[in-house]
Amino acid sequence: MLVLVAPGQGSQTPGFLSPWLELPGVTDRLRAWSDIAGIDLVHYGTAADADAIRDTAVAQPLLVAGALLSAHALLGDGFAAASRLGAVAGHSVGELPAAAVAGVLTEAGTMALVRSRSTAMAEAAAVTETGMSAVLGGDPDEVAAKLEQHGLTPANNNGGGQIVAAGTLEQLAALAADKPESARVIPLKVAGAFHTHHMASAVKAMEATAQDVTVADPGVPFVSNADGQVVGDGREVVRRLVTQVSSPVRWDLCTETFRGLGVTALIELCPGGTLAGLAKRNLKGVAQLAVKSPDQLDAARELLAEHAADTAE
């Protein structure tokens, strides 16, 4: 059984869309999505520097575009081979392209939602200087106590002893100076305290946009960040996409669900690396592949062909 996953913010790197423009039709597709997203995806995905694509209003549409492009290349136009997947999921903003692959959202609806999400989250982040830091290792109870002590929120639980703390820059600096024993604290390349109360205003903006998008029930099991549950109702998927902006990401619970479903392989869409790395540590014995450029597509297709038989019923 193969799970297809899409990465979240912080995975972007300068020029990561450049090799994809060599594929037929990709430039036209990006131009069309750019009109909806309100940014030039070709420019930001090929020529912009690291600081420019760190901007939330830029990073999120870029990541959604990368995931959708690689999903088209792997599964065919319209994600024709999606029915061969055992499940789909995405980390944070990666839930949007995952919902598109599952058939819940149209591509136009996906880009409209990410435009609303990214713009509103950037505006919310500008109110107060906030950020996020990964806390790696340490005793889980001590880590939780330190975060509470410094007024921080455990915004992401990625499993395997990786918690992402979110809050003001002052709170994060205090944590870095007062680390939990045996833990490392690493600042992340994001521009706000996502998945916390700091993003409450962005939820309202997404709610308004979500009312106008076309929604269908998923044709592939969709595993939600909220609690790791498989959600079979399209409207419920969209409701969770909206509320997730200010709620913690429980990737640890998604991983448990993958295991319970009998996952044997995992492919991470472009720009892959982070989630495949987590799978390598937390899903022992499960084949994993990160798609960074079209060079990995043949290997991804082989992995899909090998493990798709386990999804057929």
Instruction: Give catalytic residue positions.
Output: 92, 195
Picking from 134, 60, 70, 53, the residue whose alpha carbon sits closest to that of residue 94 is: 60
Which two structure tokens, joined as six digits, stand for 193? 């305290």
CB-based contact 154:186 (threshold 8 Å): no
**3-state secondary structure (DSSP) of residue 174:** helix
**Distance (Å, whole) CA 165 – CA 172:** 8
Instruction: Find the largest Cα–Cα distance for the chain.
Output: 54
Q: Residue 237 belongs to what H/E stretch?
A: helix 234-243
Picking from 226, 161, 160, 228, the residue whose alpha carbon sits closest to that of residue 195 is: 226
| Buried b / exposed e along 107-128 (16+ C-beta atoms within 10 A) | bebbbbbbbbbbbbbbebbeee
Ranges of beta strands (E only) in the chain are: 2-6, 87-90, 130-137, 153-159, 162-168, 183-187, 222-223, 230-231, 249-250, 265-268, 287-290
**Distance (Å, whole) CA 181 – CA 179:** 6
Q: How many CB atoms lie within 10 A of CB 144?
A: 15
Calculate helix-pair angle for 95-102, 56-75, nearest 10 degrees: 30
**Distance (Å, whole) CA 263 – CA 281:** 14
